[in-house]
Amino acid sequence: MTNQKSNRPVVLVGCGRLGSAILEGWLATSTVDPGDLIILTPSDKPATEAARARGARINPPLDSLANARALVLAVKPAKWREAIVPTLDPLPQDVAVVSVMAGVKAADIAGIANRPVARVMPTTAVAQARGVASVWSEDPEARGLARSLFEAIADVVDLPDESVMDAATATAGSAPAFVYAFVQALARAGEAQGLSRDAAERLARGALRSAGAGAETGAPLDELVARIASPGGTTRAGLDAMEAGGDVQRAAEAAVNAAVARASEISG
């Protein structure tokens, strides 16, 4: 049964920024054979053209969905109902719906799809097979299928309950933008201290790469901080300044709380 399912096509509905990133990651890692890919999208994107060139089917007749093993829903949350409804008649009953949409509850999708649902929240670095993805489903087979679609392109984190999916989305899915914003602020601060704009941005980007390399070692975050922040040194002085006013913690909490609140508004 498992082998038969693995040869059945995967349907990607939507190919915006996140859908394109997922597609790029699949193509780079051969997670899904291009000949087993069906992509439903209202507009051509570079990722869809690359997939087409390797044998993927773009917007074929809907009866081609009849043997699908997974439908990955990567549309904007406000558009998911109109995107999924046309696919339901041809889809087999044992297909799993894998949603990568923020804020949309699995029960809402299952209520319309009448099929098992897994929720996944990946970062766009899945395009380079360097992402992280939170996964939840109450259906073990759907969860396993979702994991198999993302394990090669992301560090997959299983969540114990859907109630923490919005927190996971804010902590990982939205967080790269928060980190970039902080790095941008560091570059501006360096510029204010006399660096040229080009030098400040290159140095700040380089610092981000260095931090990423450290994070990939798997060492505890406290240890990574301590490796750089020697007592009495310049880094320790900067950290003390941030911690004294609670600026870093306050900014992080504000960003995560706002993202979680917005996810709740979307789901409502």
d(CA 205, CA 201): 6
Is 76 annotated as contributing to ligand binding? yes
3-state SS track over 116-129: CEEEEEECHHHHHC
Q: Give φ, ψ of 195 to 5 degrees.
A: -70, 150
Integer angstrom CA distances of residue 160 from 145, 147, 259 = 17, 14, 20
Task: Give bridge partners of residue 122 from the DSSP assignment.
Answer: 133
Burial 18-46 (b: 16+ CB within 10 A, else e): bbbbbbbbbbeeebbbbebbbbbbeeebe
72 is in an annotated binding site: no
Rounded distance between C-alpha atoms, residue 239 and residue 158, angstroms: 32
Name 135's bridge partners.
120, 158
What are 39's strand-pairing partners? 12, 58
What is the rounded distance in angstroms from the CA atom of residue 71 to the CA atom of residue 209?
34
Q: Is 74 assigned to a binding site?
A: yes
Task: State yes or no: 171 annotated in a binding site.
Answer: no
HSE of 143 in the Cβ direction (CA atoms, 13 Å)?
Answer: 14
Sign (positive/negative) of CA torsion 204, 209, 210, 212? positive
Instruction: Identify the three-state secondary structure at position 11.
Output: strand
79 is annotated as contributing to ligand binding: no
Q: How far, in Å, CA of 263 to CA of 119, rounded?
A: 14
Q: Which residues are annotated as a binding site?
A: 41, 74-77
Q: Which residues are annotated as a binding site for NADP(+)?
A: 41, 74-77
